[in-house]
Chain A
Amino acid sequence: QVHLQESGPGLVKPSETLSLSCSVSGDSIKTYYWSWIRQPPGKGLEWIGYIFYTGNTNYNPSLKSRVTMSVDTSKNQFSLKLRSVTAADTAVYYCASRADWFDPWGQGTLVTVSS
């Protein structure tokens, strides 16, 4: 049973870089694609992108210019960086397994962009 856990700062200043990690347990990170999805407070889900352990990525066109994902196979974890954040990037950020459908999901971590 795959288990995912997000980690990272809960507060980021405007114009800075949001950095999150997702630790994978219960399976090798080489098994699946791995995804990031976010949900602004009170709003719906927005797909951010996905990555394979080989480094193959696919990002949401609306975020592509600001997003970088990476995988650390030695730690069995993958990461998200979102540059030049604004208040509009305030959201609960989820990591999830797979890229066709998403299962399972991490519990999510709230990231607030504020000075």
Chain B
Amino acid sequence: QSVLTQPPSVSGAPGQTVTISCTGSSSNIGAGYAVHWYQQIPGTAPKLLMYSNSKRPSGVPDRFSGSKSGTSASLAITGLLAEDEADYYCQSFDSNLNGPVIFGGGTKLTVL
């Protein structure tokens, strides 16, 4: 069981907006640690999608956005494309024995 909780799956039709949540606690996200997001297309290595809560690496479309509030963070994807179908993972730090580096369990995005 992951320290950061993500929904196992989300889905949306092309063009729609989906949001993936990442829920932590007072020892990780709530303690002020930044949240980072990765996209993993099946059979490939994860790719950094968002860092420091809401910053996009070069090359990541602005359809992807991140936010953080309290003990949770969210990744929003607008204008869904078929190529967005992938697994998405959040990552942060934890000040308890779980860490220091922790991942969410991952969310499978299906584009209908």
Q: How far is the CB of A24 from chain B (nearest CB, A)?
A: 15
Interface size class of A (residues with CB under 8 A): 20 to 34
B interface majority secondary structure: loop
Q: Give CA–CA (A30, B51) in the complex, Å.
A: 22
A102 and B91 in contact, given A45-B46, A46-B103 (Cβ under 8 angstroms)? yes
B112 at the interface (CB under 8 A from A): no
* Pairwise interchain contact B105-A44, C-beta atoms closer than 8 A: yes
Q: Give CA–CA (A106, B47) in the complex, Å.
A: 10
Give chain A residues whose Cβ lies under 8 Å from the Cβ of B48. 101-104
Give chain B residues whose Cβ lies under 8 Å from the Cβ of A105. 45-47
A58 at the interface (CB under 8 A from B): yes
Question: Which of A103, A106, A107 gathers the greatest number of chain B CB atoms within 10 Å?
Answer: A103
Q: Give CA–CA (A105, B91) in the complex, Å.
A: 15
